[in-house]
Structure 1
Amino acid sequence: MQLPPETRMIVYKHCLVAPRPVDFWPFVPKDPPSNLTRKDMLKANLKAFHVNLFRVSKQVHLEAVRIVYGCNKFRFSDVGCWSVLQGFLLNLSQNQSCQYLTNIEVACPKWWHVLHSKTQLRSWGIGGPDLALTMRLLLQQLRFGPESVRPSTCV
């Protein structure tokens, strides 16, 4: 840890900030080219991340987690994304990383109304009201809108 914090932040940004949104549930076209699968698309999305950096030390992990969740845009593009989104959010809430999350995109129709309707949750086949609770808690914890500010290290 002999490098100054500013230099370490530059290294973290280089290793952990993706040039495009990270899509954890990418949209697969009806007629995908050759043998293209969602798994292949996800691997391509995550290829830019050098996550082994988190294993260097506890201090590096604590510094780098702010960059990875604060400077990246996380996307869930396809309609069947709810269970993946739920797992992502539950994992973040369990390890306190959700406080750094600044940009998440869920491309599902009428998703806000789904959160407040138990009947719609059942009709969508989502794992019950747990997802609604998870999203409500996350939205309460995060600041969305004009008052939301990305970490200065992302600029």
Structure 2
Amino acid sequence: MVADHHNHNACIKQALATAETLCLQQGQRLTKVRRRALELIWESHRPLGAYQLLAKLADEGFNSAPPTVYRALDFLLTAGLIHKVESMNAYLGCAHADKPHKGYFLICDACHNVMEFDYQDIHASLENKAMTQGFELRSETIELTGVCQDCQPEEGEE
């Protein structure tokens, strides 16, 4: 899903720039713990659990109390900077934080990489179906599981 030559530092840099801009626009503060939590979440394209994040922050000298991490995660979720991958109970950086979006994910069962994708046609179809049923849609997350291209066996392999 993510090529070996992928530059996570570029992802982190872009995520932080977006976070700073959004926080400024929303009148919010990107505190040290929020910033570092976002950086740690963006270190790979594998979702990071709250307790994994807590351990990493504690190793770096941040407050190791769970409420500290959960407050940072709640802030990042509310700001639209991260997603919660429900099936994994873990968090992933949002690739579309600078524009309205919904959470659509491809999750590899083998390597656990998660790829976010943005398909407005899927959203429009679901929204239309909900509306015809008189249902007010408030949240939308779609998680598709399978095996990514990198983990699929080569032709002829078992």
Task: Give the TM-score taking structure 2 as reference length.
Answer: 0.25
Richer in helix (by share): 1
- In proportion to residue count, which structure has more strand? 2
Give the TM-score of the pair, scaled to structure 1: 0.25
